[in-house]
Amino acid sequence: MSDLIAPTKLTKKDFETDQDLRWCPGCGDYSILANVQRMMPELGIPREQIVWVSGIGCSSRFPYYMNTYGFHTIHGRAPAVALGVKVANPELSVWLATGDGDGLSIGGNHLMHCLRRNLDVKILMFNNRIYGLTKGQYSPTSELGKVTKSTPAGSVDQPVDPASFALGVNASFVARSIDTEAQHLGEVLRRAAAHSGTAFMEIYQNCNVFNDGAFDAFTDKAVRAERQVRVEHGKPLLFGANQEKGLRLNPRTLGLEVVNVGEGGVPLEEVLVHDETNPTFGQLLARMPFPEFPVAVGVLHASLRPTYDGTLRAQQKAAREKLGQGDLGKLLRGGSTWTI
């Protein structure tokens, strides 16, 4: 039967646009784009059903390079615009590209409310710990004492950790990944796509012009096994070249500690097994201080609860069932009327 013919399978190429990419050569944004373009065809969603919304920043140029619908809005406001898009048409698959400045500085308020509402959208936060587009001022994720053009004596404000922030406002999905780790990033993107509700992804992204090497201390091939813990639901929290280290809960401090596992160390059973449905795990993992602890990447938290758009739709449906399709004439004649 003709309607059983599978639609032509899309490829990465189908998601590329004819626009010249205007990021600096070597920027981490390129690899994030490539990974997203590779992942999108797997979703089986027609391109016209996908919308990319962004704010302002290098990272927010992203929609121009995706052959889907795209809306490059104003600085910090992408979650607010996306709110209207998703509410107006819940059938759309809505994705957001934002930066650490866009999402956590000027747009921190909107991001918070998007996360707590659990609007069914997917958010990619490109965290380069710097303002790229405005040429290198420190950002809300820059480390304390950061020397930049605007802070020659070092920044004086404490940074915010995006994943911890997201968990703090009750995000239903929080993950971390790294621009250059194609496989890991692809997996996180797929998990986010499958999540119902706001999926928040913090992606460590190298800005090779204004903050080069910001993440080398845990992303460099030579150290990453020691300095990253890749969390997976139901698996023990192990790291190290031979998975010889683990994270254990210290019941007295209610905090994590690094232990050696196996010979000369603690038995495997003492190592914490990751439970992504429990936000306490996410929070403990997100807040581990570096370099005393490794950096946790992967899906830190994922749980299900009703979405904002879904609940709104249900209310509208209920109103229609109760009151019928609106009758304008009746509405205008509401209250007491008199005829002359």
Partner 1 sequence: MEPVSPSPPVAEHPSREVIRGAVVRFAGDSGDGMQVTGDQFTAAAALARNDLATFPDFPAEIRAPAGTTYGVSGFQVHFSSQDVFTPGDAPDVLVAMNPAALKTNLKDLKKGGLLILNSGTFNATNLKKAGYEVNPLEDNSLDGYTVLSIDITKLTVTSVKDTGLSNKEAHRCKNFWTLGLMFWIYSRPLEPTLKWIESKFGKRSDLVAANIAALKAGHAYGETAEVFQHRYEVPAAPVEKGEYRNIGGNTATALGLVAGAQLAGLPLVLGAYPITPASDVLHELSKHKQFGVTTIQAEDEIAAVCAALGASYAGNLGVTSTSGPGMALKMEGIGLALSVELPLVIIDIQRGGPSTGLPTKTEQADLLQAVYGRNSEGPVCVIAASTPGNCFDMAIEAVRLALKYMTPVILLTDGYLANGAEPWRIPRVEDLPKIDVKFRTDPAGFHPFLRDPETLARNWAIPGTPELMHRIGGLEKDYNSGHISYAPDNHERMVKVRAAKIAGIANDIPPLTMEVGEDSGKLLVLGWGSTYGSIREAVQRCRDRGLSVSHAHLRYINPFPSNLGEVMKRFDRVLVPELNLGQLVKIVRSTFLVPAESFAKVQGQPFKISELEDKIRQVLES
Which residues contact ligand TPP by CB under 6 A?
A: 56-59, 75, 99-102, 126, 128, 130-134, 139
Tell me the window of 6-14, 187-195, 206-214, 281-289 that interacts with ligand SF4 (CB under 6 A).
206-214
C-beta separation of 203 from 185 below 8 A: yes
| Angstrom distance (rounded) from CA 145 to CA 16 | 40
How long, in residues, is the chain? 340
The least distance separating ligand SF4 from the CB of residue 118, rounded to whole angstroms, comes to 30
Chain positions 44 to 83 lying near partner 1, rule: CB under 8 A, are 46-51, 53, 56, 63-64, 66-74, 77, 79-83
Tell me the window of 124-132, 175-183, 223-231, 252-260 that interacts with Mg ion (CB under 5 A).
124-132
Residue closer to ligand TPP, measured from CB, 155 or 172: 155
Residue closer to partner 1, measured from CB, 270 or 327: 327
**Residue 29 interacts with ligand SF4 (CB under 6 A): yes or no:** yes
Tell me the window of 19-27, 43-51, 97-105, 295-303 that interacts with Mg ion (CB under 5 A).
97-105
**Residue 132 interacts with partner 1 (CB under 8 A): yes or no:** no
* CA proximity to 273, closest of 263, 264, 261, 287: 261
**Residue 209 interacts with ligand SF4 (CB under 6 A): yes or no:** yes
Residue closer to ligand SF4, measured from CB, 100 or 161: 100
Residue closer to partner 1, measured from CB, 30 or 69: 69
C-beta separation of 257 from 247 below 8 A: yes
C-beta separation of 258 from 268 below 8 A: no
* CA proximity to 127, closest of 31, 37, 29: 29
312: which residues sit within 8 A by CB, 6+ positions away? 87
**Residue 208 interacts with ligand SF4 (CB under 6 A): yes or no:** yes
The least distance separating Mg ion from the CB of residue 268, rounded to whole angstroms, comes to 39
Interaction partner, residue 99 (ligand SF4, partner 1, Mg ion, none; CB < 5-8 Å by kind): Mg ion
C-beta separation of 125 from 98 below 8 A: yes
**Residue 139 interacts with ligand SF4 (CB under 6 A): yes or no:** no
C-alpha distances (whole Å) from 320 to each of 260, 323, 327, 332 are: 61, 5, 11, 18
**Residue 176 interacts with partner 1 (CB under 8 A): yes or no:** no
Interaction partner, residue 89 (ligand SF4, partner 1, Mg ion, none; CB < 5-8 Å by kind): partner 1
Angle between helices 108-117 and 78-88 (to 10 degrees): 30
C-alpha distances (whole Å) from 175 to each of 7, 21, 37, 227, 300 are: 32, 27, 19, 17, 5
3-state secondary structure of 29: helix
105: which residues sit within 8 A by CB, 6+ positions away? 76, 139, 140
The least distance separating ligand TPP from the CB of residue 208, rounded to whole angstroms, comes to 12
CB atoms near residue 65 (< 10 Å)? 24
User: Which residues are near ligand SF4 by CB under 6 A?
Assistant: 23-24, 27, 29, 58, 128, 132, 207-210
User: Which residues are near partner 1 by CB under 8 A?
Assistant: 17, 19, 46-51, 53, 56, 63-64, 66-74, 77, 79-89, 91-92, 109-110, 112-113, 312, 315-316, 319-320, 322-326, 328-329, 331-340
